[in-house]
Structure 1
Amino acid sequence: MSLGILIVDDEPHLPHQFARYLRKHGYDVYTASDGEAGLRELQKNTIDLVLLDLRLPRQSGLEVLKRIREIEPELPVVILTAYGNVQTAVEAMKLGASDYLLKGFDLEELLLVVKRALETSAMSRELRQLKRERSDNYHFNHVVGHSDRMRAVFELVAKIARSDATVLITGESGTGKEVVAHAIHEQSARASGPFHPLNCAAIAQNLLESELFGYEQ
């Protein structure tokens, strides 16, 4: 299935030139001459990347970019402009633009930027999927139990995960304390960070402080 590219640019000839070139390389390409038309195309068609001019009639490209982010937060958007300046580029990137091209670029450069943005977007989707799968694995799938007490534990874990409070988990050996700790971590705001289990009981008492905080004072 071909990937869809939307070009939003009010110039009379360039968008069609870009579209012909990108179609030759196997993309489905749609064009729009202003922001509202572009947003309609975005809602009608499957779009995988947007090439967006900064200077558009009625509303600026940055305003259109904000609207795109509301509709498709993860959709890659490459800004096209003949009025390149660092401030505008930084503002566009802060709003979520994937890349920035000054008009005057050649078609090969356009194709390179398109491929790079699409590849980066695909990698991001794959990483998010892997993260979801990892989260599912440690959500509650490894905690066995269907009793009222276990359901209460599940509800408590979900509530704790939304908090920044320090958590102490107690229980006999083999009851799943580490699994519960991992489930809390994977549902928390720190899920993208590392999870490091440490068996303190296996460390000699006189070495525990050094193991946790280092040997140098």
Structure 2
Amino acid sequence: MSEKAHILVIDDEKNYLLVLQTLLEDEGYTVTAISDPETALAFLEESEVDVVVTDMKMPRVSGREVLQRVKKAWPHVPVLIMTAFGSIESAVDVMKYGAFDYITKPFSNDELLLSIHNAVELARAHRQYRLLQEAMENRYGI
């Protein structure tokens, strides 16, 4: 990895938060792990992240609401939804709102890492596209 991707992990279960943070940091990612979704959304206002990984069922703010708010404010940021209560209906629901992936707990580390790797690559492609677009506008007024 040329530059470290920044992953925001949101989960009200401290054990999953710690496991995810350790797993992702061991893979070379910069990780911000936050247990409160409202605090995490406030963090997003102040910081740039490449990927958001959020639990589905949390108090006060659900993962679906996190997904909707992230997609509204930062449509280029991939959001992965994790849940211990997976169903086809909830998977279809969050995919309609633009989730990058839907992962059931307990998850396979390899499956999660592959999904995050793909999400990071998508985020980098979006960033390169925006930079090229800005360069074209500055140079040619297009």
TM-score, reference length from structure 2: 0.85
**Counterpart among 121, 124, 127 of residue 122 in structure 1:** 124
- What is the alpha-carbon distance in structure 2 between the residues aligned to residue 33 and residue 122 of structure 1? 26
- What is the alpha-carbon distance in structure 1 between the residues aligned to residue 141 and residue 44 of structure 2? 36
CA contact (8 A) 1:99 1:113 kept: yes
Partner of 2:93: 91
Q: Considering Cα pairs closer than 8 Å and 6+ residues apart, tell me whether 1 or 2 has the greater RCO.
A: 2
1:89 offset after TM fit, Å? 1.1
Q: How does 1:48-59 map to 2 (within 5 A)?
A: 48-59=50-61
Q: Structure 1: where are the runs of 5+ without partners? A: 140-217
CA contact (8 A) 1:32 1:41 kept: no
Deviations 1:42-94 (A, max 9, x none): 22332110001110101211111111122212111001011111221112111
Larger radius of gyration: 1
Residue 28 in structure 1 maps to residue 30 in structure 2 = yes
Q: How does 1:92-171 map to 2 (within 5 A)?
A: 92-127=94-129, 139=142
- What is the alpha-carbon distance in structure 1 between the residues aligned to residue 97 and residue 82 of structure 2? 15
Stretch deviating more after TM superposition (38-47 or 106-115): 38-47
- What is the alpha-carbon distance in structure 2 between the residues aligned to residue 134 and residue 43 of structure 1? 28
Aligned-partner SS, 2:94 = helix
- What is the alpha-carbon distance in structure 1 between the residues aligned to residue 135 and residue 49 of structure 2? 25
AA at the equivalent of 1:101: I
Aligned-partner SS, 1:13 = helix
Partner of 1:183: none
- What is the alpha-carbon distance in structure 2 between the residues aligned to residue 26 and residue 69 of structure 1? 25
Deviations 1:111-157 (A, max 9, x none): 11100111123234445555676787594xxxxxxxxxxxxxxxxxx
Partner of 1:164: none
Deviations 1:146-174 (A, max 9, x none): xxxxxxxxxxxxxxxxxxxxxxxxxxxxx
Q: Are the structure 2 counterparts of residues 47 and 125 from structure 1 closer, same or farther at C-alpha, using a change threshold of 3 Å?
A: closer
Give every structure 1 segment of 4 or more consecutive aligned residues whose post-TM-superposition deviation is greater than 3 Å: 124-139
AA at the equivalent of 2:24: L
Partner of 2:39: 37
Q: Structure 2: where are the runs of 5+ without partners? A: none
Aligned residues: 139
AA at the equivalent of 1:46: E
Partner of 2:18: 16
Q: Percent identity?
A: 37
Stretch deviating more after TM superposition (116-125 or 34-43): 116-125
